[in-house]
Structure 1
Amino acid sequence: MKKVLLTLALAATTLLGYAQEVVVMDKAMFIDKVFDYQNEKEWKYKGDKPAIIDLYADWCGPCRKVAPIMKELAKEYAGKITIYKVNVDKEKELAALFNATSIPLFVLIPMNEKPQLFSGAADKATYKKAIDDFLLKKE
């Protein structure tokens, strides 16, 4: 009974947007939720909250190092930002869109500005500062 109640509670918080995970993104999702680069020439973000796109590969050591940090940040900033991850080996077109010649590469997408790239692995405090100062800054 406890297990059923816990499962229901977790499902409810996920549905309400309180528990958020890193979302695996493919090209179709990118076009639908981030930017339709096939039909638009100028950047126009489609999201309803700031986002981070983590461009990574399974074989990349630094990428594996930051993956748990991104999971923690997705939970800490649930409802405030969305964190996506894109496997550059599977989504070569998206990797090329951001000129991902080295990974990990993070695309920081604020609501009303152009995205900025953040290259390389860092500690959690560095990512939190980027989120707070760039993605969630007060206008």
Structure 2
Amino acid sequence: MKKLLLTAACFLTFAACANGGNSSQKNKTENTNTMKTIALTKADFLTKVANYEKNPTEWKYLGDKPALIDFYASWCGPCKALAPVLEELAAEYGDSIYIYKVNTEEEQELAAAFGIRSIPTLLFVPRDGKPQIAQGALPKASLKEAIDKVLLNK
């Protein structure tokens, strides 16, 4: 699976940033959506995202809308900075995308299957096409740009 992703995915070249200090968290007046990020286990991943055990050589996304998957750890500073930004994005994008979170400490086998060596690592999964990977705590503006371009084709 690691080989498949490395050859199939085009890596996004975003600079890593641990900027979690944006004070715009309380400025959500234009959106009242209550969508939240969704925790994923390996079993959930196999049924909701891709069954890489059944199809080890072919990427086949199982979801009904694009997804952003955050591979994180609870002790990771940049991951902690990114978490509220992902919650904001889940609320802003509502039901147009899924935002999943995979705890790499609890789901080590899943993280290893994707070759996750640095956290946070973000996997952008469009409905059609290959997933793309970015590493680091990206600023909200960069995440929105990537979501719009890679996931929503805007």
- Pick the TM interval, shorter chain: 0.7 to 0.9
From 84, 93, 105, the counterpart of 2:109: 93
**In the alignment, which residue of structure 1 is the partner of 2:95?**
79
**In the alignment, which residue of structure 2 is the partner of 1:14?**
none
1:19 Cα deviation (Å)? Answer: 2.6
- What is the distance in 2 between the residues matched to 1:59 and 1:19? 26
Q: How many residues are paired up?
A: 121
TM-score, normalised relative to structure 1: 0.85
From 69, 76, 79, the counterpart of 2:85: 69
CA root-mean-square deviation: 0.9
**In the alignment, which residue of structure 1 is the partner of 2:53?**
38
1:34 partner amino acid: V
Answering whether residue 143 of structure 2 is matched by residue 134 of structure 1, we say no
Answering whether residue 139 of structure 2 is matched by residue 123 of structure 1, we say yes
* Cα deviations by residue, 1:39-93 (Å, 9 ceiling, x for unpaired): 1130000000000110000000000000000000001011110000000010011
From 110, 113, 125, the counterpart of 1:109: 125
**In the alignment, which residue of structure 1 is the partner of 2:35?**
20
- What is the distance in 2 between the residues matched to 1:107 and 1:125? 17
What 5-or-longer segments of structure 2 have no aligned partner?
A: 1-32
1:34 Cα deviation (Å)? Answer: 0.4
Structure 1 vs Structure 2: percent identity of aligned residues? 50
- What is the distance in 2 between the residues matched to 1:98 and 1:74? 23
**In the alignment, which residue of structure 2 is the partner of 1:8?**
none
TM-score, normalised relative to structure 2: 0.77
Aligned partner of residue 102 in structure 1, secondary structure: coil
Structure with higher Rg: it is 1
- What is the distance in 1 between the residues matched to 2:82 and 2:139? 8
